[in-house]
Amino acid sequence: MMLIPTHHFRDIERKPEYLQPEKCAPPPFPGPAGAMWFIRDGCGIACAIVTWFLVLYAEFVVLFVMLVPSRDYAYSIINGIVFNLLAFLALASHCRAMLTDPGAVPKGNATKEFIESLQLKPGQVVYKCPKCCSIKPDRAHHCSVCKRCIRKMDHHCPWVNNCVGENNQKYFVLFTMYIALISLHALIMVGFHFLHCFEEDWTKCSSFSPPTTVILLILLCFEALLFLIFTSVMFGTQVHSICTDETGIERLQRTKQPREQSGSWKSVQEAFGGNFSLNWFNPFTRPCQPETPIDKGLVRQVSSLSDVDNMETAESQLEATKDRDSVEVLDE
């Protein structure tokens, strides 16, 4: 006879009486539709401010060090429009990724009454998150920073001060793409400006003194190169996750808890918003995620207790791996 570890009853509920409802406060009254989502995390807020500062610094150097002093007005106008448009789209995508609910599960819904309303059948279980006292749907994970369970959570990103999940992954992908593009554009313009200044008098190629100009350009070059590499890698990782319909956490769990991948063109359309169009690149259009029913994915079917053991073991090993690597950015 298989023994069930006692900690199973903390996370897996088969009957309402196991819930200890006195420890689960009733769900809070839902806010108004479209209410702003914002995570009050000091580190995340600081990272978001630094992100905006770096983009605005690049704007300053590109405009007032390279483009405004240039005598080639066509070059200045075209590059100024392109760079400012990409910077605006990057900051708009950053705001949407930061202020959009990533797919938070209703908090405090693991009550006896709600479990009874699900009418569990033999072989069915629901998972309760002991941290936010909510019923954890399939493919949802708890974030220790947001203090909520997030549907299809990929990771928590301090640069956008939010989780990347079901509802805001499009905006995060656009943010990384536009940052990579303006970084590449800035690097190209810095290269051309250095060549121009070497051919002519340094005092005529910028309104700043030559030492100041060199320092500003070198700092911009270092910033652009660093963020080009970082955001390009993140962009590729996110696009791969969308195409394979597999989040970053699920990739970590794959060796211990294999799941059938169902990536398809449909998952890409759902993430970016319908059939391919310019709206895919527009941070002001919402992805075409269908309205998520409140009880979607809450009830899970298991064939035996060994299935439960395998899932619990995989989750425990993921936690141990994160603790060992000292990257406590997300919790399962």
- Tell me what pLDDT residue 4 has: 35
Q: Is the model's pLDDT at 328 over the cut of 90?
A: no
- Tell me what pLDDT residue 109 has: 79
Alpha-carbon separation of residue 218 from 56, 69, 212, 224 (angstroms) = 16, 18, 10, 10
- Tell me what pLDDT residue 16 has: 44
If one compares 328 and 123, the residue with the highest pLDDT of the two is 123
Q: Highest mean pLDDT: which of 131-145, 232-246, 317-331? A: 232-246
- Tell me what pLDDT residue 323 has: 38
| Short-list 315, 306, 299, 293, CA closest to 138 | 299
Report the mean per-residue pLDDT for the chain: 79
For the segment 28-58, what is each residue's pLDDT rounded down to a tens digit? 544 444 567 999 999 999 999 999 999 999 9
- Tell me what pLDDT residue 249 has: 84
Q: Which of 79-88, 182-191, 194-203 has the lowest mean pLDDT?
A: 194-203
- Tell me what pLDDT residue 269 has: 86
- Tell me what pLDDT residue 156 has: 94
Q: Is the model's pLDDT at 227 over the cut of 70?
A: yes
What phi and psi, each to the nearest 5 degrees, are found at residue 46? -65, -45
| Short-list 183, 144, 167, 85, CA closest to 327 | 144
Domain borders along the chain are 42-105+140-288, 106-139+292-319
Q: Is the model's pLDDT at 295 over the cut of 60?
A: no
With 0-12 / 13-18 / 19 or more C-beta atoms within 10 angstroms meaning exposed / middle / buried, residue 224 is buried
For the segment 83-140, what is each residue's pLDDT rounded down to a tens digit? 999 999 999 999 999 999 999 988 877 777 777 777 777 777 788 888 888 888 888 8
For the segment 244-292, what is each residue's pLDDT rounded down to a tens digit? 888 888 887 765 555 555 557 888 888 888 888 899 999 998 876 555 5
- Tell me what pLDDT residue 320 has: 47
Q: Which of 1-10, 14-23, 93-102, 199-208 has the lowest mean pLDDT?
A: 1-10
Q: Is the model's pLDDT at 234 over the cut of 90?
A: yes
Q: Which of 132, 157, 163, 205 is catalytic?
A: 157
Catalytic-residue membership of 133: no
Angle at 141 between CA 137 and CA 147, to 5 degrees: 110
Strands 134-136 and 124-129: antiparallel
Q: Is the model's pLDDT at 296 over the cut of 80?
A: no
